[in-house]
Amino acid sequence: MTFSWTPHRFSGGALALDVANSVILRFDPARSIDRFADPGNLAAFPDAATRLCAEDRDGPLKAVPADRADGLIRLREAIDRHFRAEAGGTPSSLLLADLLDQIAQALRVAEAGDLDFETALSALRLISPSRAGALKICPNCEWLFLDRSKNKSRAWCDMAVCGNRVKARLHYQRKKQGKDAS
C-alpha cells in the first residue's frame, strides 16, 4: 500500500507535534518507521500540513530544500525529546536549551512559510507556559498531541484510530478470558 498523509497523521494539534509524529512507533526499533526518510513523503508533507494541520497559519507551507533536510530532522528530534520529557513530567533545561538552539538555527537559514521555519515558530509557541497541562502523549501510539478541548479531557491523539484500537484490544482480551458477556 502506498503511503499518504491522512488526517490521522495530523492529530498533533500543532505543526511542531505533527512533524515530531512523522516517526511511527518511535520506541519500538523493530517496527519504527520514519516517514520523512522517504524524500517523496517529506516533499508531500507541506501541502498536506497546509490542509490538515490544526494550527492556524497564513498561507501555504513550502518544502525544505534537500540541503536543509538534516536540519529539519535535528529540529524534529529536539522537539520530540523536549516536549515528550515535559509531557511525561520530567522537563529538562538541557533539552529545552537544545530545542532553542535548533529553533534559532532554523530561523537563521529559512524564511517565513518554509516548513523548517514554521515548525520552529510552532515549537516556540508551544514552549509558552499558557498551554501547561495540554501537552500529552497518546497511550496507544506514543505520539505527542496538544489537547485543545476546554476541560483537557482528550485521552488519545485520535479517538477514531487509537481510542478504538485500545477498546478493540480490551474487548478481545475479555473475550479470550471468557468474561465477556456481550
CB of 12 to Zn ion, least distance (A): 10
State the DSSP string of 123-174: HHHHTSGGGTT-EEE-TTT--EEE--STT----SS-IIIIIHHHHHHHHHHH
User: Which residues are at the interface with Zn ion (CB under 5 A)?
Assistant: 138, 140-141, 143, 157, 162
Of residues 114 and 158, the one with the C-beta less far from Zn ion? 158
How distant is the alpha carbon of residue 5 from its chain centre?
13
In order of 68, 123, 134, the CA distances from 128 in angstroms are 26, 9, 11
Of residues 127 and 137, the one with the C-beta less far from Zn ion? 137
Q: Which amino acid is at 176?
A: K
Of residues 75 and 162, the one with the C-beta less far from Zn ion? 162
Of residues 45 and 145, the one with the C-beta less far from Zn ion? 145
CB of 120 to Zn ion, least distance (A): 24
CB of 157 to Zn ion, least distance (A): 3
User: How far apart, in whole angstroms, are the C-alpha atoms of residue 166 and residue 150?
Assistant: 24
CB of 162 to Zn ion, least distance (A): 3
Q: Are 59 and 53 in contact (CB under 8 A)?
A: no
- CA-nearest of 133, 140, 173 to 158 is 140
Of residues 76 and 154, the one with the C-beta less far from Zn ion? 154
CB of 8 to Zn ion, least distance (A): 9
